[in-house]
Amino acid sequence: QKEVEQNSGPLSVPEGAIASLNCTYSDRGSQSFFWYRQYSGKSPELIMFIYSNGDKEDGRFTAQLNKASQYVSLLIRDSQPSDSATYLCAVHTGANSKLTFGKGITLSVRP
């Protein structure tokens, strides 16, 4: 069974700190990796995707992928209270494969 695991959380960081969210996956054939942010009562919103090993930066967000170790992480620099939300990791293993989601981790940024 293909699985995507995220720390149960919640994760609490002070405003201005770096928040580090981690995700591991079981299928070595996984090819595409996504991070979604979901505010309470709202839909998941795509914030980052990464396909290749290494880092991908977009503003305050950096996605890191290590296929050898089968993990993908999301770093949020200069965390703001508005970053407080649940973050979902999703993994796509390839052609004819559905997207598999983790349970999500709730981030709380303290003012």
Partner 1 sequence: ETGVTQTPRHLVMGMTNKKSLKCEQHLGHNAMYWYKQSAKKPLELMFVYSLEERVENNSVPSRFSPECPNSSHLFLHLHTLQPEDSALYLCASSQERYTNQPQHFGDGTRLSIL
Could you say which residues in the range 20-39 bind partner 1, by CB under 8 A? 31-32, 34, 36
Binding mask 39-78 for partner 1 (x = CB under 8 A): --xxxxxx--x-x---------------------------
4 binds partner 1 (CB under 8 A): yes
Q: Which two tokens stand for residue 27?
A: 């299928």
Nearer to partner 1 by C-beta: 26 or 32? Answer: 32
Amino acid symbol at 28 = R
Q: Applying CB under 8 A, which part among 9-17, 65-73, 75-83, 94-102 lies near partner 1?
A: 94-102
Does position 18 bind partner 1 by CB under 8 A? no
Counting contacts by CB under 8 A, is residue 103 touching partner 1? yes
Checking DSSP bridges between strand 11-14 and strand 105-110, what pairing results, if any?
parallel
- Among candidate residues 103, 76, 111, the one with its CA nearest the CA of residue 9: 103
Spell out the long-range contacts of 58-63 with Cβ–Cβ below 8 A and sequence spacing 24 or more. 61/35, 63/33, 63/35
